């Protein structure tokens, strides 16, 4: 039996449910909403992410290359972000404790203060968005997203060896 031909309406609705499009749309919407909410702080989402990692790992010796890996970014992008943040007094480069060739990144007091303000905004946004789901759906969604994120990482690692 031949499947019935798809109408333009059914093609549109099925294409809108494709995983990459939905994931990108969700990320883009979240990023733009967060960007607008933290703009009055003079902060970007990437800068917030830098502050979050440096705050969460402030007992560790984090190099720019470590930060690039944590953020799934490249060293050039991280360097540019850190340059601006250091100029603003939010982070500081200092000699690395264990690697004489490297610089260690440290969050500064001004960066911590800014981080806590932005963190409150991030939590409020997350609560607002996740309130569209029941508690059970939230838990399931987060579990599924964790599996998807790991599958994406595994796929990336497989692609590198191929």
- 115 burial (CB, 10 Å; 0-12 / 13-18 / 19+) is buried
CA nearest to 45, candidates 31, 55, 57, 59: 31
pLDDT at 85: 97
pLDDT for position 154: 87
| Integer Cα distance of 124 and 144 in angstroms | 22
pLDDT at 75: 86
Residue 104 tokens read as: 């260690």
pLDDT of residue 16: 60
What's the predicted TM-score (pTM) here?
0.78
Residue 4: the pLDDT is 47
Residue with tokens 């979240």: 30
Domains and CATH numbers, the chain: 44-157 (1.10.10.10)
**CA atoms of 47 and 119, how far apart (whole Å):** 12
Cβ neighbors of 133 (< 8 A, separation 6 or more) are 141
pLDDT at 42: 96
3-state helix, strand, coil in the chain (%, to 5): 70, 5, 25
- Mean per-residue pLDDT pooled into runs of 10, the chain (162 residues): 47 66 91 97 96 93 89 89 96 86 91 98 96 95 92 77 58
Please report which helix (H) or strand (E) contains residue 88, including its range.
none
pLDDT of residue 56: 95
Q: What is the pLDDT of residue 10?
A: 44
């Amino acid at each position: 039996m031949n499947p019935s031909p798809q109408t333009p309406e059914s093609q549109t609705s099925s294409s809108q449910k494709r995983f990459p499009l939905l994931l990108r749309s969700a990320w883009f919407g979240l990023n733009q909403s967060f960007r607008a909410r933290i703009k009055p702080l003079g902060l970007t989402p990437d800068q917030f992410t830098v502050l979050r990692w440096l705050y969460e790992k402030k007992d560790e010796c984090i190099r720019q290359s470590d930060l690039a890996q944590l953020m799934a970014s490249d060293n050039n992008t991280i360097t540019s972000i850190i340059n601006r943040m250091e100029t603003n007094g939010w982070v500081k480069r200092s000699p690395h404790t264990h690697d004489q060739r490297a610089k260690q990144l440290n969050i500064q007091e001004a960066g911590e203060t800014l981080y806590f303000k932005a963190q409150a905004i991030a939590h409020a946004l997350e609560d607002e968005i996740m309130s569209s789901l029941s508690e059970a759906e939230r838990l399931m969604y987060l579990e599924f997203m964790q599996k998807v994120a790991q599958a994406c990482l595994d796929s990336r690692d497989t692609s590198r060896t191929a």
